[in-house]
Amino acid sequence: MLRLAGSPGPSRAVVPDRSVVHVPAGTDARWHGLFARDGRRLDCGVQDAPADALVPGGPVDEILGVLLDIARTHGPGSVRVTVRDLDDALAFDVADEGTVTAEPEGLFARGRTSGSNGGTGIGLALARDLAVSLGGRLFLAGGDPMTFTLLVPVAPAIG
């Protein structure tokens, strides 16, 4: 993720290169085994996104990876990744069965950790920076159940 977040300076164009319908399947392929070993369920799906919508696959995968790692480490129960169409953007929701009582902005502060889990406290901050570099947003959409939402602008398929 550090490589994708880049350093301050001229921004590089991020090319939408993956159909949104392929993101949940790829996420499930990468993360299903880890959740299964923990005795937990991971469900990934597309609710109503257009099949021709494209997203920058690498950065979206990295952000979802941070959110899934947090859900696996801190959240109990099943985890659901859902892609929704918002017309001018796509929403990627990552929800688990846990609750968050902290102030939402505090969660994204660099160096903030939630105990002695060995975390560095930079994952959410970098994920949010990466989302902004895509022209999107990353925020806590709900505290009970804990739901993070990544918004990514829609890029229609060309051709």
- Residue-wise pLDDT for 107-154, tens only, equals 877 766 665 555 667 899 999 999 999 999 999 999 899 999 999 998
Residue 10 lies in a domain: no
Residue 8 lies in a domain: no
Residue 125: which CATH number?
A: 3.30.565.10
- Residue, of 157 and 7, whose pLDDT is higher: 157
Domain that holds residue 33: 16-156
Residue 53 lies in a domain: yes
3-state helix, strand, coil in the chain (%, to 5): 35, 25, 40
In this structure, what are the phi and psi dihedrals at residue 100, rounded to the nearest 5 degrees? -125, 130
For 47-56, how does the pLDDT look when each residue is reduced to its tens digit (9 = 90+)?
A: 988 888 999 9
Residue 73 lies in a domain: yes
- Residue, of 110 and 75, whose pLDDT is higher: 75
How many separate domains does the chain show? 1
Residue 7 lies in a domain: no
Q: Which of 12-21, 62-71, 112-121 has the lowest mean pLDDT?
A: 112-121
Residue 44's pLDDT band (cuts 50, 70, 90): very high
Q: Which residues pair with 19 in a beta bridge?
A: 54
User: Which pTM does this prediction carry?
Assistant: 0.85
Which residue, among 23, 20, 44, has the nearest Cα to 153 in the 3D structure?
Answer: 20
Q: Which of 22-26, 85-89, 114-118, 154-158 has the lowest mean pLDDT?
A: 114-118
Q: What is the pLDDT of residue 48?
A: 87
Q: How far is the C-alpha of 43 from the C-alpha of 94, rounded, in Å? A: 10
Alpha-carbon dihedral 140, 51, 42, 136, rounded to 10 degrees: -20
Residue 102 lies in a domain: yes
